[in-house]
Chain A
Amino acid sequence: MTTQNNTLHIGWAEADITPEELPVFIAGQFHARISEGIQNPLKATALVIESAGEHVIFVGMDTVSISEPLRDAIRAGLNEPGLDPQKVIINATHTHTAPLNRLKSHGAFRPWEDEEGGFKLDVVPAERYIEFAAERIASAISEAWKNRAPGGVAFGQDYAVIGRNRRWVDHDGISIMYGLNENTAAKFDHIEGYEDHSLNLLATYDKDKNLTGVIVNVPSPSQETESLFELSADYWHETRQELRARFGEKLYILPQCSAAGDLTPHLIFEKAPHERMLQLRGRTGREEVAARIAECVEHILPYITSTIASELELKHEFKTLQLPVNALTKTDAEDARKNRNDWQQKYEAEKQKLKDNPALMDAPHWYVPVTQAFSRAGWYNGVILRYEKQQADPFTPAEVHIVRLGDIAFATNPFEYYLDFGIQIKVKSPALQTFIVQLAGNGTYVPSPRAAGGGGYGAVPASNPVGPEGGKVLAEYTLNAINELWK
């Protein structure tokens, strides 16, 4: 079925991607975490929009990021006539409590296979989860493709305070992530960057104008309870429950994270009043986020039904950009070598501790210090590897999709893209609403110039394969590409 006029055809499907083979490694922290249970299910939601032979397929997935092997496996599993697998955009909610889907961490070997170190972590390998999740997601996409039927869309925007800037600058201009406490507060000068509290909503309707699903685009990753040793979709679990309670049990919900590289749901000041209000309301932090999102959606949905469009022009461009890498200096590489060696030593010391006293391995989470040291060493090792690589190849690829749907734009990138770039795009975009979708890929931080000036986690060489220069090239490309679609 290929439509030849601008009539919109819309299809939805949802897949459960909670791993069935357990335990798995949970991705998102330096140290390893082995899943100890399932707190709530992980989901992937697929939306197909087709108009006049063009199509786009959005997939929102409860995971920390989308590795290339995962993305490629999903696309490889698609075999629907007319469906272009390259037009599938998969974005992560950035929950920090979902299975690892990367084959390698920080370009190094894996600590759980370090037989020589005297220990082995018994988990289902990431390859198996990738295979499982890819199959489920490809099935959902196929189902959404087959489900597509004439329908309409409407869009709107409102505000919800969710993603908070987690970086602060001291009186000497040094930036720090979190860590504001009684001792450090005297050094506090200001919150480094901005916060964006806009929520962009796209709602879909069937031909009778019944609401079928929503894309909820917020500049906040889903990491309210990011440290758990259990699997969870984080606040999107409660948000889905809340949205379905308010707008219908069959509602499809596709989450997207707008540029929010320096934002998380955590507060760095006024934490005590927030905690007190949660207590008074009888809500968890995740339920609070869910309530705010649902409230915001409620402030949009009733007003946009008058604008449902069933015929719209759809344009979808995608490209793999070659972005300049974060140009590392010899000093960066030397500093990284020193740090790597320090962490390597800590790693060896931790292994020795375990060798000397295997009973330590009976304690819960015994593997945290050893894997933390290993992972940190690997993180710094990445800088050394990148320094060597950049001599021959100063570019790194980034897949970017630009979609025009009537008066709105979607612009994806694979990164954790600092907000300043997101605002640049929103300020200059000709679209009535610009849905920026970060983490449509493997998600490394791309810091703003002011963040790189202050340093700190998220804005140091080890965090940034792509630096502010690459971030600027990406913003400029994105804007040019959006402008092209508005010509």
Chain B
Amino acid sequence: MATNTFKIGWAESDITPEKPVFVSGQFPARVSEEILDPLKTIALVLKNEEEHAVMVCCDLVCISNDLRDLVRQKAQAAVGEIDPSKIILNATHTHTAPEIRPPDPNKGGMAAAGAGVELDAMPVIEYLEFASTRIVEAIAAAWKSRAPGGISYGSGFAVLGRNRRWVDRNGVAMMYGLNQESAERFQHIEGYEDHSVNLLATYDADNNLTGIIFNAPMTAQETGGLFAISADIWCEARKELRQRFGENLYILTQVSAAGELTPKRLYDTATEARMLELKNRTAREEFAHRIANAIDDILPYLPQAIDQNPSFTHLVNTVDLPVNALSEADVEEAKQEMAKLKKTYEAELQRLENNPSLKDGKRWYVPVSQAYRRMNWYRGVILRYEQQKIHPTLPAELHTIRLGDIVFATNPFEYYVDFGVQIKLRSPALQTFLVELAGSGTYVPSKRSTQGGGYGSMPASNPIGPEGGQVLAEKTITLIRSLWEKDIK
């Protein structure tokens, strides 16, 4: 009988900033004014004699390369046995966590721009130091705590992520903005919604539940506009799950392909508001219930299928994806938008200079930083146009992990659902846990969405376009299949 060498380790640490920070995720700069609830990072180590994977989920909007590299560097120093390339960091996409992309004048995009005005907040680089240290503490603790155990998995459904893009009668697509007036033009919701939930549960040697990976196409941005620090839905969801399944439960969350999905509803909003009132729940609490209900509908059936020695392979690949080929017209349009925003930005600066007392007002910096950061968003198009002449591809790190009959397949993007469904459909795995936002997270739009345009599916949003998205889907499928080669006759 083969020795059971499969080991599992879990740990969690707190990555709540101790000072005011730049809050990441919106066009205007936001400086955190309060901490609503703590931010967490959760680390899971899976290891057998030949292989290991370190999965780490963070309450952040995305994982910048700076953060990833710092974590790997420190992890290697802290735990020599870990192959740093086998550390996967993914974000929940909370829009109320610190910025983790340091300002960089050589880069386009709103995050690289900074705020455009002096603001009193912890520099991004300082938060990166702090967060990377805490994340590595969790990784080291999970590594150390690894012990023989087993896994079991299952699937179910929960209505969580909703499609936020709609198409009007002229074929023009829009994000949000459905109201009484615009509704007259409404034709259809642009794309699909995927409500599947994939669950991996881990157990100790005595088959006691120790933790779960919850994978669903839902980003945590129900209250994404706050000037506060919060894990968003995951704050309430963790509470609810621990109440139902044990106070010591580890909960690692992954976002499946959900580039155009958010928890926001485009329609039936009044109905849902009424139901929340009747249930006496906030929207975040409602999502927590739906998540917990979905898990409740899977978990009781999994102990019969615990595998204490699953086959285990972890591939790490960096693939080159074709960039979103920009045209001169795209650049021209970006320049025009930049020029308009530059005027707005300068006017806002002038206004502040003429009347310095404006800076005594709350959130005085919103209009000026909004103009500045949008300007730089368009500037990104111009920079990318120049770069594409030299580098027509962009690298993307992908992890493909086979664990028994299931697979995890990561990508760094906000990957539109159509691609996710393509991968799930063609994957030979019994369950395919797609993990988006295992990286810096830019939108990769579906082909049909770029026909309609709109935020998320336009040149400024898309360093990688539908062509690159399709290449990524094909590469992911090929990588998954390579792990099933011996099973595919």
Chain B residues contacting A280 (CB-CB under 8 Å) are 154, 301-302, 304-305
0/1 per residue, B166-198, Cβ < 8 Å to A? 000000000000100001101111011101101
Q: Is the CB of A189 within 8 A of B430?
A: no
- Contact among B154, B188, B278 for A304, CB-based, below 8 A: B278
- Rounded to whole angstroms, the CA-CA distance of A193 and B266 in the bound complex is 16
Known: A156-B275, A270-B424. A189 touches B302 (CB 8 A): no
Judging by beta carbons under 8 Å apart, are B298 and A189 in contact? no
The answer to whether B271 and A157 touch across the interface, beta carbons within 8 angstroms, is: yes
Please encode chain B, from 250 to 275, with 1 for each CB lying within 8 Å of some chain A CB and 0 for all others: 00000000000000001110111011
Is B159 interfacial (CB-CB < 8 Å)?
yes
Mark each residue of chain B from 445 to 467: 1 if its CB lies under 8 Å from any CB of chain A, else 0.
01110000000000000000000
Q: Which of A158, A270, A426 contacts B267 (CB 8 A)?
A: A426
Chain B residue at minimal CB-CB distance from A269: B425
A197 on the interface (CB 8 Å rule)? yes
| Interface bits B319-363 vs A (CB < 8 Å: 1, else 0) | 000000000000000000000000000000000000000000000
- Establish whether residues A157 and B275, one from each chain, have CB atoms under 8 Å apart when the complex forms: yes
Interface size on A, residues (CB 8 A): 46
CB distance from A475 to the nearest CB of B (A): 10
Q: Are A188 and B426 in contact (CB under 8 A)?
A: yes
A-side contacts of B195, CB under 8 Å: 161, 195, 197
CB distance B425 to A194 under 8 Å?
no
CA separation between A161 and B192, bound complex, in Å?
Answer: 13
In chain B, what residue has the closest Cβ to A197? Answer: B159
Query: Which of B186, B301, B422 is close to A188, meaning CB atoms less than 8 Å apart?
Result: B422
Q: Which of A156, A161, A273, A423 has the most CB of B within 10 A?
A: A273
Bound CA–CA A418/B158 (angstroms) = 23
- Does chain B have a CB within 8 A of A450? yes
Cβ of B268 and Cβ of A157 under 8 Å apart?
A: yes
8 Å CB contact of B421 from A157, A269, A276, A433: A269
B contact residues around A473 at 8 Å (CB): none
Q: Is B163 an interface residue (CB 8 A)?
A: yes
Docked-complex contact B183 and A427, CB < 8 angstroms: yes
State A370–B97 Cα separation when bound (angstroms).
66
**Least distance between A421 CB and chain B CB atoms (Å):** 9
Residue of B with least CB distance to A306: B278
Complex-state Cα separation, A27 to B268, whole angstroms: 35
Contact of B272 among A157, A273, A307, A420 (CB under 8 A): A157
Indicate with 1 or 0, residue by residue over B137-175, a CB within 8 angstroms of chain A CB atoms: 000000000000000001111110001000000000000
Known: A273-B431, A281-B301, A426-B267. A194 touches B154 (CB 8 A): no
Q: A280-B301, A295-B293, A304-B278 are in contact. Are A270 and B192 (CB under 8 A)?
A: no
B285: Cβ under 8 A from any A Cβ: no
Taking the complex as formed, is A478 at the interface, i.e. its CB lies under 8 A from any CB of chain B? no
Q: Determine the distance from Cα of A300 to Cα of B448 in the docked complex, in whole angstroms.
A: 36
Give B425's nearest chain A residue, CB to CB: A269
Q: Please, what's the 1-or-0 string for A186-207, where 1 marks a CB less than 8 Å from any CB in chain B?
A: 1011110111011000000000
Bound-complex Cα distance A27 to B425 (A): 32
Q: Tell whether, in the assembled complex, residue A189 and residue B418 are in contact, meaning their CB atoms are under 8 Å apart.
A: yes
**A198/B268 in contact, CB under 8 A:** yes
State in angstroms the CA–CA spacing of A144 and B154 once bound together: 45
* B163 to A: closest C-beta gap in Å: 7
- Given the known inter-chain contacts A423-B267, A424-B186, please indicate yes or no for A190 contacting B278, CB distance below 8 A: no
Asked if residues B193 and A277 are in contact (CB atoms below 8 Å), the reply is no
Please state if B430 and A190 are interface contacts (CB–CB under 8 Å). no
How far apart sit A158 and B193, CA to CA, in the bound complex (Å)?
16
- Closest A residue, CB atoms, query B302: A280
Compute how far the CA of A424 lies from the CA of B178 in the bound complex, rounded to whole angstroms: 11
In the complex with contacts A295-B293, A304-B278, A190-B270 CB distance below 8 A: no
Interface residues of B in 356-373 (CB under 8 A from A): none
CA distance A180 to B163 in the complex (A): 24
B279 within 8 A of A: yes
Closest chain-A Cβ to B452's Cβ sits at a distance in Å of 12
Taking a contact as CB atoms under 8 Å apart, the answer to whether A195 and B267 are in contact is no
Neighbouring A residues of B446 by C-beta, 8 Å: 190
A307 to B, closest residue via Cβ: B278
Distance in Å: Cβ of B189 to nearest Cβ of chain A: 5
Which single residue of chain A is at the shortest CB-CB distance from B157? A161
Contact assessment for B275 and A303 in the assembled complex, using a CB-CB cutoff below 8 Å: yes
Partner of A420 from the list B187, B193, B274 (CB cut-off 8 Å) is B187
Closest Cβ–Cβ distance, residue B150 to chain A (whole Å): 16
Cα A61 to Cα B421 in complex, Å, equals 35
* Residues in B neighbouring A360, C-beta threshold 8 A: none
- With A and B bound together, what is the CA distance between A307 and B278 in angstroms? 9
Q: Does A175 contact B (CB under 8 A)?
A: no
A159 at the interface (CB under 8 A from B): yes
Inside 8 A of A189's CB, which chain B residues have their CB?
A: 418, 422, 447
CB B268 to nearest CB in A, in angstroms, measures: 6
Residues of B within 8 A of A191 (CB): 192, 418, 421
Contacts of B290 in A (CB 8 A): 159
Give the docked Cα–Cα distance between A161 and B161 (Å): 13
Q: Is B188 within 8 A of A420, CB to CB?
A: yes
Which residues of A395-452 have CB atoms within 8 Å of chain B's CB atoms?
420, 423-424, 426-428, 432-433, 448-450
Chain A residues contacting B158 (CB-CB under 8 Å) are 161
CB distance from B304 to the nearest CB of A (A): 7
Chain B residues within 8 Å of A195, by CB: 192-193, 195
Beta-carbon nearest neighbor of B153 in chain A = A273
Question: Per-residue CB proximity of B289-302 to A under 8 Å, as 1/0?
Answer: 01001000110011
The answer to the question of A185 belonging to the interface, with a C-beta cut-off of 8 Å to chain B, is: yes
Bound CA–CA A358/B37 (angstroms): 78
**In the complex where A157-B268, A190-B421, A307-B278 touch, is A423 in contact with B189 (Cβ < 8 A)?**
yes
Q: Does B184 lie within 8 Å of A428, measured CB to CB?
A: yes
Q: Min CB distance, A296 to chain B, in Å?
A: 10
Known interface pairs A195-B193, A277-B155; 19 further A-B residue pairs with C-beta atoms within 8 A, sorted by A's residue number: A159-B159, A161-B157, A161-B195, A186-B426, A189-B447, A190-B446, A194-B189, A195-B195, A269-B424, A270-B196, A276-B154, A277-B154, A277-B298, A280-B302, A420-B188, A427-B178, A428-B184, A428-B186, A449-B187
- State the B residues within 8 Å of A (CB): 154-159, 163, 178, 183-184, 186-189, 191-193, 195-196, 198, 266-268, 270-272, 274-275, 278-279, 290, 293, 297-298, 301-302, 304-305, 418, 421-422, 424-426, 430-431, 446-448
A-B contact pairs, 27 of them (CB 8 A): A156-B274, A156-B278, A161-B195, A185-B425, A186-B426, A190-B192, A190-B422, A190-B448, A194-B193, A195-B195, A270-B424, A270-B425, A273-B154, A276-B154, A277-B155, A280-B304, A292-B157, A295-B293, A299-B293, A420-B189, A423-B189, A423-B267, A426-B267, A426-B268, A427-B266, A432-B271, A433-B271
Nearest 5 pairs of A and B residues by beta carbon: A161-B157, A159-B159, A190-B418, A420-B188, A280-B301
